[in-house]
Structure 1
Amino acid sequence: MKYLFFLLLTLSFTTFFAQNNINTYIEEGIAYHDKGEYDKALATYEKALILDPQSTVVNYEMALSYFKKNDYKNTIARADMVLKKNEDNLVNAYLIKGSALDMMGEVKQSIKLFEKAMRKFPDDYLLPYNLALNHYKLNQMEEAKENVIKALENNPSHGSSHWMLANIESEQGNTVQSLLANYYFLFLEPNSSRSLDAYTMLQLNFSGNVTKGKDEAITINISMSDGDDPFSAAALMLGLMGASNMLPENADKTSEELFVENTNSFFQVLGELKKEKEKGLYWNFYVPFFYDLAKSNHLEAYCMYISQSGNENAEAWLNENSEKLKAFAAWLKM
């Protein structure tokens, strides 16, 4: 009995030290990876594999480093080892394998893989987001839109999904929907690398259908949509609002003042247009949030906050109105 106890104790300590060494190698490998030293990272992960060749963590980290080296075949091979074991890191393995297939030009295979993964993990948001990206690349806009909306339903705080949706709707000529997605993206990412593009698109969507001729005549270009389109009234209002900005009585207003006024009118109209029968992301997520914001005392703070990447005056306003920003943040937590 003593020998059996000693053997079990020895095995326990051996397992403990082996796992401890694996974790050390993994941490060391991740540090190399983060510094862009992918070969050193892979060499370190190989040491960990000697201790546990089936480790899903090690194989996934190796897949990441191979991906960064543009070695997509080895990326897929390591991801497949994770998927074959069918324990943990499965979503991550599907994502990296799907991305590798995409980079190899196998977009349709990538789509099939993501669809399979989504059946297993219906609540994940990165799977439908990456699937939407693939459809977007193939110019399959409706499929892209369907899946990016699914990603947002699973995670409304995913900025990249809002940005993709804004671009899809803009390309399809759906100005109101594009504005809503863009407004929320800028709320999440007011000062990221993509924010200036988003801010520019926002401004263009507000004024792009209004022109002023040499004779000072203002023309509103409205495309006639289906009469059942619940956004048609808001689209017409955008045109009228753009025309109003060019009237003499608004000549003395700053661009910031007009932006706040236009945003308030846009949100108010959409809130008032919402009916019980209206469903989906736009009417159940975007519109209620922005309508509540328009009825609050924080719309100016919001407008300045989302304008900081493309407007120096907005940035100055933020620096001078920290208390209003704190009040806005407190309102958001309510």
Structure 2
Amino acid sequence: MKYLFFLLLTLSFTTCFAQNNINTYIEEGIAYHDKGEYDKALATYEKALILDPQSTVVNYEMALSYFKKNDYKNTIARAEMVLKKNEDNLVNAYLIKGSALDMMGEVKQSIKLFEKAMRKFPDDYLLPYNLALNHYKLNQMEEAKENVIKALENNPSHGSSHWMLANIESAQGNTVQSLLANHYFLLLEPSSPRSLDAYTLLQHNFTGNVSQEKDNSITINISATGDDAPFSAAELMLGLMGASNMLPENADKTAEELFVENTKSFFQVLGELNDKKSQEIYREFYVPFFYDLAQSDHLETYCMYILQNGNKNAEAWLIENIEALDALAAWLKE
């Protein structure tokens, strides 16, 4: 009996030792990967594979490093090893394989893979987001919208999904919907490089349907059609606000002051017009949130917060009003 106990103890020690070595190699490989030294990372992962050739963690990390090296065939091969074992890192393996197929120009295969993965993991948000991205690349806007909304339903805090939805709606001429998605993106990501693009799109959608001629006459163009067109009344209101900004009585107001006034009016009108005819994500998510914001004491702080990237006046305002910024943060947590 004591020999059996000794054997079991030895096997347990050997297993723990091997696992510790694998973890050490994985950490070392990830460190190399994060520094962009992908060949060194792969060489380190190979040492880990000697100890456990079927490790889902190691094979997935290798897939990531191969992807960064633009070696998409090996990326797919490593991802498939994870998928075949059908244990851990399955969603990540689907994501990296689908992305590799996309980069190889096999977009339709990538779409099929993501659709298959979504049936297995319906609550994941990155799978429908990446599927939406593929449809977006193929200019299949309705399919892209459907899936990016699914991503947001699964994770409302995913900034990239709000940004994609804003661009889809803008491409389809849905100004109000684009504005709402863009506003929420800027709330989540006010100071990244792409937030500058988001702010440009926001300004365009706020004033793009208004033009002033040489004789100072003002023209408002409305893209929505029919009494039941979603947000047609709100789009008309945008035009009226844009026209109002050009009036002499507003000439002395700063761009930031006009932005705050227009944003407050926009959110309030949407909240008052909100009904069951509106699309679900707008009726149940965007509009109620921004309507509550417009009725709070934090609307000006919010506007300065989303304007901070590239707007020195907004940046200075935030520095001078730290308490207001803290109050907004507390309100958002409620």
TM-score by length of 1: 0.99
Looking at structure 2, the residues matched to 50 and 115 of structure 1 have their Cα atoms a distance apart, in angstroms, of 34
Q: Does 1:94 align with 2:129?
A: no
Measured in 1, the distance between the counterparts of 2:279 and 2:171 equals: 23
CA contact (8 A) 1:30 1:61 kept: yes
CA RMSD of aligned residues (A): 0.9
State whether residues 276 and 283 of structure 2, in contact with CA within 8 Å, keep that contact through their aligned partners in structure 1: no
Which residue pairs with 1:303 in the alignment? 303
Task: Please give the secondary structure, in 2, of the residue aligned with 1:173.
Answer: coil
Q: In structure 2, what is the equivalent of residue 35 of structure 1?
A: 35
Identity of aligned residues (%): 87
Partner of 2:253: 253
1:118–1:127 contact (8 Å) kept in structure 2 = yes
Residue 200 of structure 1 contacts residue 310 of structure 1 at CA under 8 Å; is this kept in 2?
no
Partner in structure 2 of residue 234 of structure 1:
234
Question: Which residue is equivalent to 2:263?
Answer: 263
Distance 1:242 1:167 in 2: 21
AA in 1 matched with 2:194: R
- Alignment partner of 1:85 is 2:85: yes
Q: Which amino acid aligns with 1:62?
A: M
**Residue pairs, 1:134-145, within 5 angstroms:** 134-145=134-145
Q: How far did 1:277 drift?
A: 5.7
Would you say the 8 A contact 2:230–2:277 is kept in 1?
A: no
SS state of the match for residue 214, structure 1? coil
Task: Give me the whole-angstrom Cα distance separating, in 1, the residues matched to 2:310 and 2:140.
Answer: 31
Cα distance in 2, alignment partners of residues 161 and 291 from structure 1: 21
Task: In structure 1, list runs of 5 or more residues that go unmatched.
Answer: none
Q: Using the TM superposition, give the Cα deviation of residue 223 of structure 1 relative to its aligned residue in structure 2, in angstroms.
A: 2.5
**141 and 95 in structure 1: CA distance in 2 versus 1, 3 angstrom threshold:** same
Task: Indicate if the aligned counterparts of 1:159 and 1:188 stay in contact, CA closer than 8 A.
Answer: yes
Match of 1:326 in 2: 326
C-alpha distance in 2, partners of 1:252/1:168? 35
Amino acid at match of 1:212: Q
Amino acid at match of 1:272: E
In 1, Cα distance between the equivalents of 2:166 and 2:223? 19
Q: Is 1:166 the equivalent of 2:166?
A: yes
Give the conservation status (yes or no) of the 8 Å contact 1:72–1:104. yes
Moved more, 210-219 or 60-69: 210-219
Q: Does 1:209 align with 2:209?
A: yes
Q: What CA deviation, in whole Å up to 9, does each residue of 1:95-146 have, x standing for no partner?
A: 0000000000000000000000000000000000000000000000000000
Residue in structure 1 matched with residue 155 of structure 2 by the alignment: 155
Q: Which amino acid aligns with 1:103?
A: M
The 2-side partners of 1:66 and 1:226 are apart by 52
How far the C-alpha of 1:310 sits from its partner, in A, is 2.9
Give the superposition deviation at 1:230. 3.0
Q: Is 1:19 the equivalent of 2:8?
A: no
Tell me, yes or no, if the aligned pair for 1:54 and 1:81 is still in contact at 8 Å.
yes
User: What 5-or-longer segments of structure 2 have no aligned partner?
Assistant: none
Q: Distance in 2 between matches of 1:88 and 1:158?
A: 23
Partner of 1:193: 193
CA distance in 2, matches of 1:48, 1:84: 19
Which amino acid in structure 1 is aligned with residue 72 of structure 2?
A: Y
Assess, with a 3 A threshold, how the Cα gap between structure 1 residues 203 and 277 changes in structure 2: closer, same or farther: closer
> Which amino acid is 1:31 matched to?
A
Amino acid at match of 2:154: N
Number of equivalences: 334
Which whole-Å CA distance do the structure 2 matches of 1:120 and 1:223 have between them?
A: 40
Query: Cα deviation per residue 1:298-332 (whole Å; 9 max; x = unaligned)?
Result: 00000000001131110110111111111111111
Given that residues 26 and 58 in structure 1 are in contact (C-alpha distance below 8 angstroms), is that contact kept between their aligned partners in structure 2? yes
Deviation for aligned residue 1:52: 0.3
Partner of 1:179 in structure 2?
Answer: 179
Q: Which letter maps to 1:140?
A: Q
Cα separation, 2, equivalents of 1:203 and 1:64? 38
Partner SS state of residue 264, structure 1: helix
SS in 2 for 1:253: coil
SS at match of 1:211: strand
Partners of 1:89 and 1:146 lie apart in 2 by 26
Distance in 2, matches of 1:223 and 1:156, equals 28
- For the residues of structure 2 that align with 1:193 and 1:127, how far apart are their CA atoms? 24
Paired residue secondary structure (1:122): coil
Q: Provide the TM-score with structure 2 as the length reference.
A: 0.99
Deviations 1:267-314 (A, max 9, x none): 000000112564511110000100000000000000000001131110
Letter in 1 for 2:234: A
Distance 1:178 1:276 in 2: 19
88-97 vs 273-282, greater mean Cα deviation: 273-282
